[in-house]
Structure 1
Amino acid sequence: MGAKIFITAGTGYVGGTVLDTLAKRHPEYSITALLRNVPEDFAARYPNVRIVRGTFDDEQLIADTAAENDIVIHGGKPKHLPSLEAHIAGLLRRSQPGPGFLIRLAGTGIIADWQNGPYAVLNPKVWSDIDDIDDITSFPDDYLHRTADKILQAAAAQYGDKLKTAIICPSGIYGQGRGPGNIRSLLIPEMCENIIELGYSFYALTGANRRSWIHVDDVANVYLKLVEAAVAGGGNAVWGKEGYYFATSQELSQLDLAREAGKILHTHGLIPTSEPKSLPVETVREMQGGSSWEPMGVYTWACNTRARADRARSLLGYAPSAPNVQSALEGDLLDAVEHVKQNGPRYCPGLRL
């Protein structure tokens, strides 16, 4: 019998793609998925995946299920700390020999310069998950994901012989997901709706700020390699405090992204001009999409999020193989348009197509 794996957020964009990847690449794994709602075709697509009905608020259920498994893949709601603590508590109760493994989804928002500005200018700093690990693991508590990171780091330090932890931090994700639920990313569809509502593509000030990007299939590949290392007892991977894995493949300036998006949407008759326009930071600050997080506008459009996947490349043999942003952009944008036509807008309530 293969490794026993418990995965949450299995109908989410990232979690669903990871679930699909593991189920297809390793049918010998025994996979359990925590699902709030079960898609109609789930059993047909994944007949060997055990379903546990529940939510992140079902802490006892989460802990009990984690205790039955070797590896926990925890995704979705990174600020939901009780569910993270329940996973840790469950893995520490395991009766099987050897350590349990906990792989958590976070993001490169922790190194984004959205807090103090200056906005929409190039920041030369590109963060490495190896060279800069001491800084990354000692950021102040108000940095994105930091509170959850500290919980994981403390548990790994205290129970290192029984619990091995890792954090995967993707940058901006694009491409169509392959899971049983949400298959659309966040940033590209949000940008698409805003562009069509405005009637033109846009960037903040000069658009010189840059963001790292990764295709969702490449994100799943990083997960796959880390899970395979865990199944091998840890493999060549690093766990614990330094078990920090940026997942990136390329970077693009906001100006270049706006130009590419403008050309595509204009070619398809969705906006009257292909040329993007510069907007004040104050304007993009109000463009929060569906988020209640006030800084979302400057985080999305006016900050730098630059990172290198040094650890995954050097230890796991990760090499991006999916299409780059420019190649996938047309499909992502048109898919977002079709979603609005069929289901209504996700980010711009007044948008009509």
Structure 2
Amino acid sequence: MPSILLLGVSGLVGSHLILALRDHCPGLPVTVFLRNKNLDVYLYETAKVDKVVHGTFDEKDKIVALAKTHDIVINVGSSWDVPLSEAIVEGLKQQPDGKKRTLIHMSGTGNFVDKRWTDGAFHADTKVWSDDDTEDMKLINPEMLNGGPDTVVLNASRDSQIGTFIVFPSGIYGEAAGPVPALGVIQLVFREKAQELGFVPYVGDGSAIFNCLHVKAITPFMLLLLGLALQEDKSQRSVYERCFIIGGQEMPWKAASEAFAKSLHAEGVIPSPEARSVKLEEAGGGELPMLMASNMRLTSPRAQRLGYKNEEVSLEEYLKQYDQYLN
């Protein structure tokens, strides 16, 4: 029976995925690797995992040894940690020749930002990335936001017997399903930016396009990929045909900023519920300003043919519900 190693179980996506594995794949033995030592009872009794191993992503030898002894590794723990991906690949490579082994890696659509324009405006000629276009997927490189680990994974599939899948979710919002509080990355970066500046910014006129989705849209697709991994022989598809973009709501960055300004004001994080237009150089540090200044456009025909659907609430509606819950 194929065994699964899951990294990132205490994070946002992992907290939902581990419960989905319990409910939909009860016969598959699951090992989880995490730093938190306070979740063992929950993981064994509620999530029904078979084994808990404690450690950090810096402990390469542990990760290599675990990957070496599992048929399928699912990494939703980090989309930017190159040494982590290298350790996973090294462990999978150490398995016997001819043995089927698979890596399902979660990246992000931060790779697919058109930085030719950084004025915060919509541009009709912005590149629209498609997971059905292998030439688009061949453009993935280490200079992209999440491109370092992605390149490691792509090379592993080309150069070895490892079957790989990469899923690129757009900006994630939502809450964790388990006992450890966690919020979507887009919520975290907006909160950090509001705390840094004292208001929520957008760049220029804010008409540049952003794409985002609720965390609950991701888990069903990860299960589809797992099903594919259990059925398919690696030779049936090229590495680039195993890349899937899963997007959600497309909206102007100004609309996203306005929604977060209202939400963060309601929480008392910032004094005003109004978002503010700024120049790129006035938007502070981190990745968010450059993302806001550019367009992120994408399409998902390959993922949709596999069965991907986004039926979750919009960002604005989610933030309203979240504010009501807090109050």
| TM-score of the pair, normalised by structure 1 | 0.80
| Aligned mates of 1:88, 1:277 — CA distance in 2 | 44
| Aligned mates of 1:194, 1:84 — CA distance in 2 | 29
Q: Say whether the 8 Å CA contact 1:70–1:101 is kept in structure 2.
A: yes
SS in 1 for 2:102: strand
| Aligned mates of 1:48, 1:80 — CA distance in 2 | 25
Letter of the structure 2 residue corresponding to residue 301 of structure 1: M
Q: Say whether the 8 Å CA contact 2:221–2:307 is kept in structure 1.
A: no
| Aligned mates of 1:9, 1:196 — CA distance in 2 | 27
The number of residue pairs the alignment matches comes to 323
Instruction: Provide, for residues 15-55 of structure 1, a one-character-per-residue CA deviation record: whole Å limited to 9, x for no partner.
Output: 22222222232221210011112334333322333111222
| Aligned mates of 1:232, 1:127 — CA distance in 2 | 28
Alignment partner, residue 308 of structure 1: 299
Cα deviation, residue 127, structure 1: 1.1
Alignment partner, residue 122 of structure 1: 122
Structure 1 stretches lacking a partner, 5+ long: 289-295, 339-353
Q: Say whether the 8 Å CA contact 2:141–2:151 is kept in structure 1.
A: no
| Aligned mates of 2:189, 2:323 — CA distance in 1 | 9
Cα deviation, residue 251, structure 1: 1.0
| Aligned mates of 1:89, 1:234 — CA distance in 2 | 20
Cα deviation, residue 245, structure 1: 0.9
More displaced 10-residue stretch of structure 1: 220-229 or 21-30: 21-30
Tell me: CA distance 1:218–1:267, structure 2 relative to 1, closer, same or farther (3 Å). Answer: same
Q: Say whether the 8 Å CA contact 1:210–1:253 is kept in structure 2.
A: yes
Instruction: Provide, for residues 51-107 of structure 1, a one-character-per-residue CA deviation record: whole Å limited to 9, x for no partner.
Output: 112222222222222122111012333333233222222223335965211011211
Tell me: CA distance 1:266–1:206, structure 2 relative to 1, closer, same or farther (3 Å). Answer: same
| Aligned mates of 1:44, 1:111 — CA distance in 2 | 40
Tell me: CA distance 1:58–1:201, structure 2 relative to 1, closer, same or farther (3 Å). Answer: closer
Letter of the structure 1 residue corresponding to residue 130 of structure 2: S
| Aligned mates of 1:180, 1:13 — CA distance in 2 | 11
**Matched-pair identity in %:** 27
Instruction: Provide, for residues 306-332 of structure 1, a one-character-per-residue CA deviation record: whole Å limited to 9, x for no partner.
Output: 222222101x21111222222212244
Tell me: CA distance 1:305–1:49, structure 2 relative to 1, closer, same or farther (3 Å). Answer: farther
| TM-score of the pair, normalised by structure 2 | 0.86
| Aligned mates of 1:280, 1:6 — CA distance in 2 | 45
Tell me: CA distance 1:37–1:96, structure 2 relative to 1, closer, same or farther (3 Å). Answer: farther
Structure 2 stretches lacking a partner, 5+ long: none
Instruction: Provide, for residues 181-219 of structure 1, a one-character-per-residue CA deviation record: whole Å limited to 9, x for no partner.
Output: 342112224324644776654321100111111111111
Q: Say yes or no: does 1:166 pair with 2:168.
A: no
More displaced 10-residue stretch of structure 1: 91-100 or 179-188: 91-100
Alignment partner, residue 94 of structure 2: 93
Alignment partner, residue 73 of structure 2: 72
Tell me: CA distance 1:91–1:197, structure 2 relative to 1, closer, same or farther (3 Å). Answer: closer
Alignment partner, residue 232 of structure 1: 231
Alignment partner, residue 64 of structure 2: 63
Superposition map of 1:4-153 within 5 A: 4-40=3-39, 41-95=42-96, 98-114=99-115, 117-123=117-123, 124-131=126-133, 133-153=134-154
**CA RMSD in angstroms, aligned pairs only:** 3.0
Q: Say whether the 8 Å CA contact 1:15–1:76 is kept in structure 2.
A: yes
Alignment partner, residue 342 of structure 1: none
SS in 1 for 2:114: coil
| Aligned mates of 1:334, 1:96 — CA distance in 2 | 55
Cα deviation, residue 147, structure 1: 3.0
